[in-house]
Chain A
């Protein structure tokens, strides 16, 4: 049984990772006005937010670039992609004449989602795992499960779809999923 569950869980999480948020320090002061004016997909509205919002088409990502040289990048689908993306952004900045380097490349958050393919009784789950769960159906249809180890937050929905977020490393996402899967099967809703 356990084996089946493991296999099923592996099946379910084939396409797990959806989004990666990372920060990197380009290690040089930037002139945001220059960047905003010369880069095609760059938005800069200093009154509203003190950073340039730059986008890249391939892979489809967005970066917030601050005047201090720090950059936040989101939208990459994998770690490798994220590295490529950071290089691309850095190259663009370099082209404008700023001596950009990579310093403190750090993945801040990994978001994943998957489908266990069976409906889940959230009520029961919330009751039994009261310490970790927060389920307010009137506010939000999903159950918010705050796993302590690893420190990952899962949004569990009745349809069987799961969203995992908060992991700093891919493994954490996997572990979290592994941990939650038996619980989900326990509260599986039998079709009527």
Chain B
């Protein structure tokens, strides 16, 4: 029945396919005359050629050629209806996406999505946005609404543009208030999918289940500890999965997890740190699972909390305030019905459970540090201002302050304890959390563990490395300067005032790579020193070995050897005494220097710098002076002047000879000559060898290299001066020491 304008009423119509029109049966007025036929008809055109009448029209489009409902004036021509086309295209896109995601129950979803798409098109939402995105958003809404598992699959291609489009669409469709959209996505939905991807096909289903279950439990613990609020679910998910995988022995790296979950490694690290700060972070896997099971069991048999009245402000609420307000649901607790209350407990751990959210923890720490700083400054200020007499009072004041803060801490502590919450957050920050990987020394961890056992509970905002009773022992051993000997209180004061972070200390240490590099550099730079050390050690070792050998030889029982050893020892002792005596005599009998040169030489000798002195230059230095002196003085003085120079040289260069007294030389000679057995000759031979070498080598320039002196270069000694001495040696003649009386 179509409204006919001519008749003025609805009239049945007749369709004439041959001619292609629809007309009114009452008056015969033609409503539409664009009929489609599939039989081609040909007409003759002006030029005599036959032409196909009509147009080709694609399936799914209509042509408003001619009149539409009697409107002759508008001639649309062969125009495709873009509106319909758009809608169709959208549906296609939705279909494609649904197919690629392998969603079950596709038809219904696609249709539902398409309906949303139509609305979007009508509201001009598709303008300026890619069709694909809009299609995806529509499909996503449908999935979310259905709470279908596949909504998590959608997250796979999570990108920000899509998210934005989705949010806008929600706004458009007035879906913001819809609880489905409002509720944050539960990360536990993702666990299975991520686990699957992480583990691959190689692991057994048993392990898969174990890992995913632990991950779920970790997640719920995180939820209770407020780690999940305001965070992207994927981050929290990733962290839980990582921990769970590692704890089951599946060695996945952070990189693996990051690639699956699509978060940054920094984010993952952050979440891990936050988790480790929570109470659960310090449990082992078994403990954790046990605890989780406990909690689950508890949740099953949920009791109405009886502490309702104790908590201020919620006294005696009987009115239902949750989302089920107005319905028949009964009030269960805290203004919530049982369903909502259970959910509340599940998500947040209830009123008693869970730790403070990480952001709050951080803020608390900052606040605490600041207050400490202020207190410290105040303490200094007090000290500076008052005089000495007030000093002691200040001490007491400070202690008072400390005590006060402790009281406060205790108060807050008690509150927490009263609630029965699991608030043993003592130094869990730095306590050996099993999930933590840093290597702390045994001392450190022992201290902190003790701390935990002693139950020095502070507020649930954990403080790192504070309040170690073990350390008070150390401090009580301290011997403070007198004005600070205030006994144990000082120790306490120290504990609360000082706050040495493990982190901070770690900052002062190199990592492995740096250590390696530094070792290389340092060894290079200190090569000489190290070589010197090495040679010194060798020498010592050799001497010790020789000594040991000598002793062994002596112990073997040859009487000669024993005598010789004794004689040698005695000789050495005598030598030393002689040396000392001689020195004393010299000091006493020293002739006051007659000239500047002499004075200088004496000074040099005394200071034992002579080896570094160029004597030639020294002599020449005073030559002018000497000339003057010699002119006016006796010859004897010259000699006197001369001989010290030579003598000095001699002393420096052949110091070992210095030590020889005639006796010693004799004894040694005897030893060398009268040697029969090998064993006995061990050490003497060595020394003798040294002797011989030094003596018979006439080519030595610098003098004899022994332990007692180092002569650097030929500067200190001239060959000429040296020769006569050496020659004497060469002949092994007993020579007289000229400078005995020197």
Contact = CB atoms under 8 A, between A and B. Distances in A.
Q: Do A and B come from one complex?
A: yes
Contacts of B500: 84, 87-88, 91
Interface stretch (A9-17, A119-127, A137-145, A158-166): A9-17
Contacts of A45: 525-526
Contacts of B494: 83, 87
A102 B379 contact: no
A148 interface: no
Contacts of A16: 384
21 contacts: A15-B384, A37-B510, A37-B518, A37-B522, A46-B526, A56-B508, A79-B481, A79-B484, A80-B380, A83-B494, A84-B498, A84-B500, A91-B505, A95-B505, A101-B477, A103-B477, A104-B479, A105-B478, A105-B479, A169-B482, A170-B391
5 A-B pairs with least C-beta separation: A84-B498, A47-B529, A171-B388, A105-B478, A91-B505
Interface of B: 376, 379-380, 383-385, 387-388, 391, 440-441, 443-444, 474-475, 477-484, 494, 497-498, 500, 504-510, 514-515, 518-519, 522, 525-526, 528-529
Interface in A1-55: 10, 13-17, 33, 36-41, 44-47
Nearest to A13: B384
A105 B515 contact: no
A102 B475 contact: yes
Interface string A91-107: 11011110101111111
Nearest to B498: A84
Contacts of A80: 376, 379-380, 497
Nearest to B532: A47
A92 B384 contact: no
Given A13-B384, A106-B479, A37 B529 contact: no
Contacts of A171: 388, 391, 483
A174 interface: yes
A37 B479 CA distance: 31
B498 A87 contact: yes
B510 A38 contact: yes
B497 A84 contact: yes
A170 to B, nearest CB: 7
A175 interface: yes
Given A78-B380, A84-B498, A87-B500, A102 B526 contact: no
Contacts of B480: 105
A70 interface: no
B509 A83 contact: no
A101 B481 CA distance: 18
Interface of A: 10, 13-17, 33, 36-41, 44-47, 56, 58, 78-80, 83-84, 87-88, 91-92, 94-97, 99, 101-107, 168-171, 174-175
A104 to B, nearest CB: 6
A103 B500 CA distance: 19
Nearest to B381: A14
A92 B505 contact: yes
Contacts of A84: 497-498, 500
Nearest to B388: A171
B481 A40 contact: no
B474 A102 contact: yes
Nearest to B481: A107
A79 B379 CA distance: 12
Contacts of A103: 477-478
A13 B518 CA distance: 45
Contact of A170 (B478, B483, B525): B483
B128 to A, nearest CB: 54
A14 B497 contact: no
A107 B480 CA distance: 8
A1 to B, nearest CB: 18
Contacts of B483: 169-171
B508 A39 contact: yes
A14 B481 contact: no
Contacts of B475: 102
Nearest to B483: A169
Contacts of A94: 441, 443-444
Given A95-B505, A168-B481, A169-B481, 9 more contacts: A39-B510, A58-B504, A88-B504, A91-B505, A92-B505, A95-B441, A103-B477, A103-B478, A170-B391
Nearest to B525: A45
A161 B479 CA distance: 34
Contacts of A47: 526, 528-529
A92 B440 CA distance: 11
A102 B473 CA distance: 10
B628 to A, nearest CB: 36
Contacts of B510: 37-40
A168 B180 CA distance: 73
Given A39-B509, A40-B509, A174 B526 contact: no
A33 B526 CA distance: 11
Nearest to A27: B477
Contacts of A92: 505, 508-509
A104 B478 CA distance: 6
Contacts of B505: 88, 91-92, 95
A168 B483 CA distance: 11
Contacts of B514: 40
A40 B483 CA distance: 35
Nearest to B440: A95
B496 to A, nearest CB: 12
Nearest to B379: A80
Contact of B508 (A41, A104, A168): A41
B387 A101 contact: no
Contact of B441 (A40, A56, A97, A169): A97
A37 B477 contact: no
A13 B522 CA distance: 46
Nearest to A47: B529
Contacts of A101: 474, 477
Contacts of A14: 384-385
Contacts of A33: 522
B733 to A, nearest CB: 44
A17 B385 CA distance: 12
Contacts of B504: 58, 88
A133 to B, nearest CB: 25
Given A46-B529, A102-B474, A83 B498 contact: yes
Contact of B522 (A17, A36, A88, A95): A36
A17 B380 CA distance: 10
A148 to B, nearest CB: 18
A36 B526 CA distance: 13
A46 B522 CA distance: 11
B15 to A, nearest CB: 94
Contact of A44 (B440, B477, B522): B522
Nearest to A88: B500
Contacts of A91: 500, 505
Contacts of A102: 474-475, 477-478
Contacts of B528: 47
A106 B708 CA distance: 41
A4 to B, nearest CB: 15
A174 B384 CA distance: 9
B509 A95 contact: yes
Contacts of A56: 508
A96 B79 CA distance: 84
Nearest to A44: B522
A163 B410 CA distance: 45
A33 B441 CA distance: 20
B469 to A, nearest CB: 15
Contact of B509 (A44, A88, A96, A168): A96
A44 B508 CA distance: 16
A37 B515 contact: yes
Contact of B387 (A10, A36, A96, A107): A10
Nearest to B507: A40
Nearest to B493: A80
Contacts of B497: 80, 84
A41 B526 CA distance: 18
A175 B388 contact: yes
Contacts of B474: 101-102
